[in-house]
Amino acid sequence: MSVPANVGVLGGGRMGGGIAHSFLLAGAKVHVVDISDDAVAAARDRIHKDIEGSIARGAEGSFEDYVGRLSLSTSPADFSGCEVVVEAVPESLDLKRNSFASISEHAPQAAIATNTSSLSVTELAETVDNDVIGLHFFNPVPASKLVEIVVAESTPNALVDTARGWVEGLGKTPIVVKDAPGFASSRLGVAIALEAIRMVEEDVATPEDIDNAMVLGYKFPTGPLALTDIVGLDVRLRIAEYLESTLGERFAPPQLMRDMVARGELGRKSGKGFYDYST
């Protein structure tokens, strides 16, 4: 139940910033690498702000202690002393492959943990000689209690056990999932959302009533349609298309979903999805 002493994070965006923040809170030294000086400055601001938020909510350490263990740069060479590098660059196979190669060149000793939400960890692992595992964090990272540990064909058992300890050291609960499309969370979450969207399409009930069926009847914290609005219909459409291509027709996106995305009804971020957020 302890985190590594030296953690690298490649890509200090929404997820990478949150991952860095979580490891800092758990006592690690964290080095974040991003692509440009502007991106590094944005990552630093985001992580500092998140740390201030954690302190305001009762985290015990001082701001100076937390940020004293944080460093940032544009150079993957700075990963040289890291036990693990968490890769959190945007979801593109080519970009992630290049990122893996760059981490491996500068930190051949490090385990590489990818935060991909849909790509094959096994395929990514083939690019390098490093030990590779998936650590699928959820957004927002500091508040989320779950991390999916995704086991590629080449992932050593010892790394799975070590990764469980890291996740528990972060105060989160690990689940261990074989490297299969959508892992456990996206596959189940998207399956329920697609059925809910088909029910709206077929006029079975209103979005409110469909969500209430799950919230009040099945104790879901958020209904599947409200959650789709939070995640973004465009994001879920891409995941559904990927799952359809890998797992089959049962994941085919409903026409209503495609029409809403085409109209720009993407959920909260666009002001309208299954619900109206314009007021």
Q: Is 196 in the site for ligand NAD (CB under 6 A)?
A: no
Q: Are 103 and 130 in contact (CB under 8 A)?
A: yes
Q: 268-279: string of b/e by CB count within 10 Å (b at 16+)?
A: eebebbbeeeee
Range 67-126, binding ligand NAD (CB under 6 A): 88-91, 95, 99, 115-117
Residue nearest ligand NAD, CB atom distance: 13
Of 88 and 196, nearer to ligand NAD (C-beta) is 88
Q: Which stretch, 32-40, 191-199, 212-220, 264-272, contacts ligand NAD (CB under 6 A)?
A: 32-40
Q: Is 245 left (phi over 0), alpha (psi -120 to 50) or beta?
A: alpha
Is 223 a residue that touches ligand NAD (CB under 6 A)? no
Instruction: Rule CB under 6 A: say whether 204 interacts with ligand NAD.
Output: no
Instruction: Determine the Cα–Cα distance for residues 11 and 101; give it in Å rounded to an integer.
Output: 15
Dihedral of alpha carbons 160, 161, 165, 168, sign = positive
- The two tokens of residue 102 are 């760059």
Q: Is 226 in the site for ligand NAD (CB under 6 A)?
A: no
Whether the CB-CB separation of 223 and 166 falls below 8 Å is answered with no
Rg (CA), the chain: 20
Which is closer to ligand NAD, CB of 14 or CB of 250? 14
When asked if residue 270 is in the footprint of ligand NAD (CB under 6 A), the reply is no
d(CA 81, CA 29): 11
**Minimum separation from the CB atom of position 86 to ligand NAD (A):** 10
Quickly list DSSP for 168-193: HHTT-EEEEEES-TTTTHHHHHHHHH
228 counts as binding ligand NAD under rule CB under 6 A: no
Q: Say whether residue 132 binds ligand NAD (CB under 6 A).
A: no
- The pair phi, psi for residue 82, each rounded to 5°, is -85, 140
With CB under 6 A as the rule, give the number of residues binding ligand NAD. 24
Does 35 help bind ligand NAD (rule: CB under 6 A)? yes
| Residue span binding ligand NAD (CB under 6 A) among the ranges 5-13, 125-133, 204-212, 214-222 | 5-13
Q: Which is nearer to ligand NAD, 152 or 200 (CB)?
A: 152
Question: Does residue 156 touch ligand NAD according to CB under 6 A?
Answer: no
Signed CA dihedral, 116, 119, 125, 128: sign only: negative
Q: Is 39 in the site for ligand NAD (CB under 6 A)?
A: yes
Binding site for ligand NAD (CB under 6 A): 10-16, 33-35, 39, 43, 88-91, 95, 99, 115-117, 137-139
